[in-house]
Amino acid sequence: MIHPSIGQRGSAEALIAVQTLSKVYPTVNGGYVHALDNVDIDIGEGEFVSIVGPSGCGKSTLLRIIAGLDVHDEGRLILAGRDIAGPSPDVGVVFQAANLLPWLTVRENVRLPLRVGGKKKQSGTSVDDLLAMTGLGEFGERYPYELSGGMQQRAGICRALARNPRILLMDEPFGALDALTRERMNLELQNIWQTHKKTVILITHSISEALFLGNRVIVMSARPGRIIADLKVDIPRPRSLDSIILHPEYARLSSEIRGLLNAQGEVE
Ligand SMILES: Nc1ncnc2c1ncn2[C@@H]1O[C@H](COP(=O)(O)OP(=O)(O)O)[C@@H](O)[C@H]1O
Ligand SMILES: [Mg+2]
């Protein structure tokens, strides 16, 4: 099933262009897993793109490939006009677990990419600004174990932003947080995106989160992951969690996405 809204491919000004991308993993018993099949996505500078899809459909694989942390088998992947050939300072990544180093303070953790990644970009926001922006201003000298899960995840986001990347890739970043903290993090992320003009790709299991944050929601099929819909979210910003649910577009898109996901069945 191909959704009629597909067809945003080939625009010259795409910051990230994923073209007919496929990925197959070999398995230990000599078989293979076809993770991604012919994926095409164009993402323009400053867009916020949410990706939803059934478990195991290749979302994390796609994100890792865009981050330069994994390699694809077929197709092309172009970032700012160049083929992706590994991790780039233009890309910050946030995973579900903050993965802070326990023996370093919060500030040292956030500064880590600047220490290991070479020269700091001039236009970068300072580490202290990042900590203040995410409500961690008072916690720079604390150690990760002294922070709540939400605060650790904020520190992880600060670390991803430390080198002032143009692109922020997020793989279910709020999946392990309680509902209220998650809502607060959604608001903070909207603010970060609006203030710092990043290009964001967010993978999420939450349709409401995808719609609240995204300009577009991309829906993937069950494995091998293909794009089955690329939906524009035409809801004005800044959005609030209370008002967005009253918007007619929200109800329409949410039921369309739910329908598409349900049609994929339960997988894995
Ligand atoms: N390194 C790997 N080696 C073998 N198979 C993998 C590897 N990484 C992921 N897979 C498989 O590829 C498929 C897609 O995985 P993933 O991208 O993590 O899906 P999602 O993030 O959508 O849940 C799954 O079946 C998974 O088991
Ligand atoms: Mg995943």
Which residue intervals of the chain are DSSP H helices? 59-66, 106-116, 127-133, 149-161, 179-196, 207-213, 241-244, 248-262
Cα 132 to middle of ligand 2, angstroms: 30
**How far is residue 172's CA from residue 96's CA, in Å, rounded to a whole number?**
5
Residue 268 CA: nearest ligand 1 atom is 25
**How far is residue 233's CA from residue 217's CA, in Å, rounded to a whole number?**
7
214 with 203: CB under 8 angstroms?
no
**How far is residue 55's CA from residue 53's CA, in Å, rounded to a whole number?**
7
pLDDT confidence band for 46 (50 / 70 / 90): very high
Cα 245 to middle of ligand 1, angstroms: 33
pLDDT over 90 (residue 12): no
Query: Across residues 159-163, what is the average pLDDT?
Result: 92
What's the pLDDT score for residue 131? 92
Task: Establish how many alpha carbons lie within 13 A of residue 178's alpha carbon, considering only the half-sphere containing its beta carbon.
Answer: 5
The closest ligand to the CA of 37 turns out to be: 1
Is 58 a pocket residue for ligand 1 (Cβ < 6 Å)? yes
- CATH 3.40.50.300 segments of the chain: 1-90+166-268
Is 60 a pocket residue for ligand 1 (Cβ < 6 Å)? yes
Is 35 a pocket residue for ligand 1 (Cβ < 6 Å)? yes
For residue 183, which amino acid is it?
E
176 with 188: CB under 8 angstroms?
no
Nearest CA to ligand 1 atom 6: 25
CATH number of 1-90+166-268: 3.40.50.300
Cα 246 to middle of ligand 2, angstroms: 30
Query: Across residues 169-181, what is the average pLDDT?
Result: 91
Q: What is the dihedral of CA 161, 165, 170, 176, to 10 degrees?
A: -10
Flag whether the pTM goes above 0.85: yes
- The two structure tokens encoding residue 248: 């007619």
**How far is residue 261's CA from residue 112's CA, in Å, rounded to a whole number?**
39
* Axis-axis angle for helices 179-196, 149-161 (nearest 10): 20
